Structure 1
């Protein structure tokens, strides 16, 4: 048996049957308060300003106390168990005091990313039947445009630097919490592990966002996320996630389950820059880093590489990736940059905890998501719910009648006022179908193909966009890309790639020139050397940006719709032949 507590064999042996969860489980009471008793002075949150000008540190004792006082503020405002509360905040420490305070009362936080506009907030508030809103000055202003239309009058504002105070009509959250005596205990009379604990909306890669119902015990399931991060008391963890993403729940709840420290830093005004992240890793003893693929791709750009080498990380020893699969070429470039650090890719959804990962002790196969988690049974199924053999492509699915699938995934979606669990039963097995396509090899490694709706069918071949994008990334001119099916009379669909050029090529290629044609041909030739010719993008278009969800996932549906609009005549001819 492996000696490390994070080794795949060790966690499979320890957690193979799941994690015991008391019937009266409450995350703040059972987890946060436990650590506040065991290690009251151990840091839970370490917040740093975007320009490193100041910082704030909160121990587990502080987190317990401030969330209890926040709960009292919400109780005094009339919130009750079961009330859903929309939360839209930047990366401020008050987010956790508020969310944990709501959970103490049995209220249900509904986080939304800071990029949501008033129309998005209106949709979420109406869909979730929200009873209150929590935000900063900016988001409270946005919500004010729609508050009356959704019937929400309770608005709590958390102060941030330079916001000019809290106007009348809103509760000054910070002032209200400060007024509650230290040591106040505020809890619902009863908690249950099956109480609704938090609601996220899906990022809407293929359609309108759906409301994901997550029960209290789900939060304890993020212990497995904490094990993937290799966290324990005293370890500092940085997760590059907007607080409205489910990934922030993976990160912070995984951290708190393990009694570790969550590092929080807001981005600088404007867009993310890799240099700020590099500075944070250089200044602070951050041991584990979690980023989406977009950020890892930015770290291996030529300018970021130079800055990294001049400002090496102080303590970094473990890196993980999530959100979308990470290209094998980027994993290799990052390993070369860091002198051996391998990015451990993993797979999970808003509906789950981490369920497929590259664990300690499992040899990384570049481009693979890794192996199933210790208490999950993951398979590949067809449209009828039949489990497929190794090597066959189908839908990635999780057994919900056994193991972790019974407890550590969502209760269901709200659809037409009813709970939709999105399950299929076949041959005595019940599966939750993720909507993602993939395959498993004979050694138990899972490989991502794409969202069900993203798969391209060309001349009878099925092509996953991720494998196209990974092969494109092998050319030095390609910084990022998105592959979609474009209507074609001969093939039904042809593979088309929208490509963002790397720094080195951005100013060298002008649209409509022979240089552009030559570069496209060179990219296609490089592509053919690395994968099957039927996957080659017949069309390549250079673009400045790609449409993405608020969580950073590429919205290929927008690009497919764009191609359909551009090729209306082709679509008409195709349909006339059917």
Structure 2
């Protein structure tokens, strides 16, 4: 295996650009075998690449001829993990429409916010969602596949928009990020070098396809490489996730830090896994969780960093040999220039894989996101002498306590080492003397009960393990933490509580 430096020197975008030149429909369905395996409590079914393409081309005819969908129109899909939504995704690509995923936890108001900037020509939905919005349920799908197959697939250029995703963020009103076909270049590089996908791998990314990580690298990435997409259409359960990996002999796995934390914090049974590679993305992964997987299953969970707007751009890649520094985000993705600009992680927009076209109807927000040729992510980090990135926190979350800058993540990671703590979120309350004091909200593991004694023990634990000059002043035990629909902790909602 090449070292990171060797891979970086040898990397050339041109072969990838040539390979991905056509319509995404053709690129994602030009393989043999099973494209999707679907599992739920009630059924199991599958579809081949050939069947997937045929159904997408049939739906495309209906969309063009009956719904009058044109290139650049939006097609929205409100679904969890369904074969039909992949058919709709590919049909959208084939006619040059913009695919917009909607998360099933959204209520009518959240859907309204995400569909008013550019109203969709049609909204598809799984049947149990049809009371939320005026949509065409999947049970009507078969009726729409009787119009023959699309003969002329739309030409899509690199800078044509193909996806519209609203970034929930940790603060503020969601913004509609327009994503171009260059996403395919990003997905190719990430699957090959970040995920380190190998020919014989059985890959599973259970992230919800209503969000970037699940859509980009749970559907588009695997299909691009001819891998079967596994849909476990059930609410997340730590033991069921491990059981599914055992049953399906998963060798390469990618998921969100929240899921890894829940598995490490609650799973007691020993599962017979053949897992060799694991990746985490969405938030920084706490070192204690990495340690648990190494001790229990001899698997390293590698931390990866990205955003809806730019995809995965910094990571501890599996596709080359690199030193692993515990707690680091890793090194820039091949083909990308990533640096720290005014303390913020910034991505040079002239990479062929840079796919962010701007925020829909929000020119001022789009302008704010750029500094010259650099896209600013809004995440604070530092870079060491070897070029490794170290996460500090969201720009809005980092605070000064007694004159020291503190990112909540590092304190949360220490808290996770305490035997009673399942999850935590740390914010800063204003204090007239010290500027700010640290305030932790903690979800306890099932066998622990809240008490003043436990509060004192946790406070002392942090003081000893983290720092004597920066310690917790307040601890609140809660049943759950506020999170975005994709699982990121919303600290600003906790801040509002104390104002």
Among 373, 377, 388, which residue is 2:333 paired with? 373
Shift of 1:59: 2.2
Q: Partner residue of 2:484?
A: 549
Using the size of structure 2 for normalisation, the TM-score is: 0.93
Q: Partner residue of 1:332?
A: 291
Question: Aligned-pair RMSD on alpha carbons?
Answer: 2.0
CA distance change for structure 1 residues 71 and 525 in 2, over 3 Å: closer, same or farther? same
Among 201, 207, 210, which residue is 2:172 paired with? 207
Q: Partner residue of 2:219?
A: 252
* Contact 1:226–1:257 under 8 Å retained in 2: no
Q: Partner residue of 1:317?
A: 276
CA distance change for structure 1 residues 452 and 156 in 2, over 3 Å: closer, same or farther? same
The yes-or-no answer on 1:494 pairing with 2:474 is: no
- Tell me which structure has the larger Cα radius of gyration: 1
Question: For the residues of structure 1 that align with 2:401 and 2:465, how far apart are their CA atoms?
Answer: 19
Question: For the residues of structure 1 that align with 2:86 and 2:11, how far apart are their CA atoms?
Answer: 28
Among 98, 104, 107, which residue is 1:117 paired with? 107
Shift of 1:333: 1.0
Q: Deviations over 1:265-319 (max 9, x none)?
A: 1114xxx2212111211111222111111111111125x1x32x1x322x32111
CA distance change for structure 1 residues 18 and 522 in 2, over 3 Å: closer, same or farther? farther
Deviating above 6 A after TM superposition, structure 1's stretches of 4 or more consecutive aligned residues are none
Among 72, 77, 93, which residue is 1:82 paired with? 72
SS at match of 2:295: helix
CA distance change for structure 1 residues 464 and 345 in 2, over 3 Å: closer, same or farther? same
CA distance change for structure 1 residues 418 and 27 in 2, over 3 Å: closer, same or farther? farther
Gaps of 5+ in 1: 145-154, 160-171, 383-393, 510-515, 565-578
The yes-or-no answer on 1:46 pairing with 2:30 is: no
Q: Partner residue of 1:399?
A: 348
The yes-or-no answer on 1:158 pairing with 2:138 is: yes
Q: Deviations over 1:515-563 (max 9, x none)?
A: x222222212221222222332211111111100100100001011111
Shift of 1:337: 1.1
Question: For the residues of structure 2 that align with 1:196 and 1:186, how far apart are their CA atoms?
Answer: 22
What count of residue pairs does the alignment treat as equivalent? 492
Question: For the residues of structure 2 that align with 1:223 and 1:532, how far apart are their CA atoms?
Answer: 42
SS at match of 2:117: helix
Using the size of structure 1 for normalisation, the TM-score is: 0.81
CA distance change for structure 1 residues 17 and 417 in 2, over 3 Å: closer, same or farther? closer
Shift of 1:420: 1.7
Among 133, 136, 144, which residue is 1:176 paired with? 144
CA distance change for structure 1 residues 354 and 204 in 2, over 3 Å: closer, same or farther? closer
Among 250, 263, 275, which residue is 2:230 paired with? 263
* Contact 1:43–1:234 under 8 Å retained in 2: no
Where do residues 110-509 of structure 1 align in structure 2 (5 Å cutoff)? 110-144=100-134, 155-159=135-139, 172-177=140-145, 179-181=146-148, 184-227=149-192, 228-233=194-199, 235-248=201-214, 249-268=216-235, 272-302=236-266, 304=267, 306-307=268-269, 309=270, 311-313=271-273, 315-338=274-297, 340-360=298-318, 361-382=321-342, 394-401=343-350, 404=351, 406-416=352-362, 420-421=366-367, 422-425=369-372, 430-505=373-448, 508-509=449-450
Question: For the residues of structure 2 that align with 1:79 and 1:465, how far apart are their CA atoms?
Answer: 46
* Contact 1:104–1:186 under 8 Å retained in 2: no
Question: For the residues of structure 1 that align with 2:209 and 2:473, how far apart are their CA atoms?
Answer: 39
Among 53, 57, 68, which residue is 2:46 paired with? 57
Question: For the residues of structure 2 that align with 1:116 and 1:457, how far apart are their CA atoms?
Answer: 35
* Contact 2:36–2:230 under 8 Å retained in 1: yes
Among 533, 538, 559, which residue is 2:473 paired with? 538
* Greater Cα offset, 554-563 or 458-467: 458-467
Question: For the residues of structure 2 that align with 1:417 and 1:186, how far apart are their CA atoms?
Answer: 37
* Contact 2:28–2:220 under 8 Å retained in 1: no
Question: For the residues of structure 2 that align with 1:97 and 1:232, how far apart are their CA atoms?
Answer: 26
Q: Partner residue of 2:57?
A: 68
* Contact 1:232–1:259 under 8 Å retained in 2: no
* Contact 1:222–1:250 under 8 Å retained in 2: yes
Gaps of 5+ in 2: none
* Contact 1:232–1:258 under 8 Å retained in 2: no
Question: For the residues of structure 1 that align with 2:317 and 2:89, how far apart are their CA atoms?
Answer: 30
Q: Deviations over 1:453-489 (max 9, x none)?
A: 0112222221101011011111111110001111211
* Contact 1:224–1:354 under 8 Å retained in 2: no
CA distance change for structure 1 residues 537 and 415 in 2, over 3 Å: closer, same or farther? farther
